[in-house]
């Protein structure tokens, strides 16, 4: 009985972390769709864009030139603002390049986590 309590606690503590990360683009996209769309998320999106533009993240590695056509990308951002997941609707040179650019970058802290930020490139 005493052994089962630490196991149960450890198991319960591990569930939220593993359950929070999307496993693929479809799941990340679905999570983006159900996120609240309110003043907090709008303000965060503006702060995210300002940080991204200030640091020229989207164009610093020449990713735009590594593919053509529309590309949808979704970043999974943790409670500290760190990009912990990158999902794209196709696997091309741009997606692989931006995955390398964005994974690990620390943006401003989102209003909740995980926060899913969707970008569409034409």
Do residues 95 and 9 touch, judged by C-beta distance below 8 A?
A: no
**27-75, pLDDT tens digit by residue?**
999 999 999 999 999 999 999 999 999 999 999 999 999 999 999 999 9
Structure confidence at residue 9 (pLDDT): 36
Buried (b) or exposed (e) across 21-57, using 16+ Cβ within 10 A?
ebeebeebbebbeebeeeeebeebeebbeeebeeeeb
**pLDDT exceeds cutoff 80 at 3:** no
Query: Does the pTM exceed 0.75?
Result: yes
Q: What is the pLDDT of residue 20?
A: 66
**Confidence tier at 13 by pLDDT (50, 70, 90):** very low
3-state secondary structure of 28: helix
Q: How does pLDDT run across 18-30, given as a tens digit for each residue?
A: 446 899 999 999 9
- What does the alpha-carbon distance between residue 114 and residue 56 come to, in Å, rounded to a whole number? 23
């Amino acid at each position: 009985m005493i052994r089962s309590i630490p196991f149960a606690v450890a198991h319960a503590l591990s569930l939220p972390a593993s359950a929070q990360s999307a496993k693929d683009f479809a799941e990340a996209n679905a999570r983006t769709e159900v996120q609240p769309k309110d003043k907090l998320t709008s303000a965060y999106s503006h702060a995210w864009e300002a940080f991204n533009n200030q640091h020229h993240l989207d164009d610093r590695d020449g990713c735009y030139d590594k593919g053509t056509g529309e590309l949808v990308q979704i970043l999974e951002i943790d409670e500290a603002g760190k990009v912990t997941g990158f999902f794209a609707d196709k696997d091309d040179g741009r997606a692989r390049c931006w995955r390398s650019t964005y994974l690990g970058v620390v943006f401003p802290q989102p209003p909740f986590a995980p926060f899913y930020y969707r970008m569409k490139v034409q």
